[in-house]
Amino acid sequence: MTIPPLSVDLLIFDLDGTLVDTRQDLTNSVNFVRKNFGLSELPLVEVMRYVGDGVHKLMERTLQSNDPNLIEEAIRIFASHYREHCLDFSTLCDGASEILDHFREKKMAVISNKPDEFTLAILKGLLIDHYFKIILGGDSQPELKPSPAPILHISQKLEVVPERAVIVGDGTTDIESGKRAVIHTCAVTFGYRSREILAQSQPEFIIENLNELKYILL
């Protein structure tokens, strides 16, 4: 049986691994931090396991430490390096330009756990910031995903009821955030988490390319 497309008024996108492939730039900045502390480099695949819960958690995982002074210094070093290099290798994910243009008449937003400064710099640098009514980075709201707070803030601001909104992301935090906000959820498999891990979060949809959104959303 064919499932009819879901009619929505608001599309909320994650950034890293969903709209933009930021893997190499993140890995380079993480390894710059480790080098400053006399540690060996980490492979990209390991760094990606640490990404998704904000820069503070990223540094804790990078250094395997909860020392607040150490983490504060690591964040400072990371931010200084990433500020200069966040667009060295980062590119739009396949289908991102096409899908944003396809839904340009809809309300769209970005919610990232990445700090505001870098979220905005990447979206502007890749010339897609104009598609979004609201862009929330990790310091825009008191709570990060998987809290539903950022989604609820956007849906209230844009006056969209939950059943008319969907979140698209590559992480379990995106799916959990969407479920807790009682909106529709769509996971993408080309990002930083495997299909198996994403499936455990039980999103409503799982897609392999952003262009598939044309066929599941109206």
Give the span between the Cα atoms of 28 and 78, in whole angstroms. 10
| Residues noted as catalytic | 14
Mean pLDDT of 6-31: 98
Average pLDDT of every residue of the chain? 96
Mean pLDDT of 54-63: 95
% the chain with pLDDT above 90: 95
Tell me, what's the pLDDT at 3? 72
Taking residue 56's Cβ as centre, other Cβ atoms within 10 Å add up to: 17
Give the span between the Cα atoms of 73 and 52, in whole angstroms. 20
For residue 78, with 0-12 CB atoms within 10 Å meaning exposed, 13-18 middle and 19 or more buried, which class applies? buried
Mean pLDDT of 192-205: 95
187 forms bridges with which residues in the sheet? 169, 206
Tell me, what's the pLDDT at 180? 98
- Domain architecture of the chain: domains with CATH: 10-21+91-216 (3.40.50.1000), 23-85 (1.10.150)
Give the span between the Cα atoms of 198 and 185, in whole angstroms. 11
Tell me, what's the pLDDT at 2? 61
Q: What is the 3-state secondary structure (H, E, C) of the chain?
A: CCCCCECCCEEEECCECCCEECHHHHHHHHHHHHHHCCCCCCCHHHHHHHCCCCHHHHHHHHHCCCCHHHHHHHHHHHHHHHHHHCCCCCEECCCHHHHHHHCCCCEEEEECCCCHHHHHHHHHHCCCHHHCCEEECCCCCCCCCCCCHHHHHHHHHCCCCHHHEEEEECCHHHHHHHHHCCCEEEEECCCCCCHHHHHHCCCCEEECCHHHHHHHEC
| Tens digit of each residue's pLDDT (9 = 90 or more) over 76-119 | 999 999 999 999 999 999 999 999 999 999 999 999 999 999 99
| Tens digit of each residue's pLDDT (9 = 90 or more) over 110-161 | 999 999 999 999 999 999 999 999 999 999 889 999 999 999 999 999 999 9
Tell me, what's the pLDDT at 4? 80
Phi, psi of 136 (to 5 degrees): -115, 120
Model confidence band, residue 1 (pLDDT cutoffs 50, 70, 90): very low
Q: Which residue has the tokens 């893997």?
A: 23
Tell me, what's the pLDDT at 141? 86
Tell me, what's the pLDDT at 213? 98
Tell me, what's the pLDDT at 151? 98
| Tens digit of each residue's pLDDT (9 = 90 or more) over 157-178 | 999 999 999 999 999 999 999 9
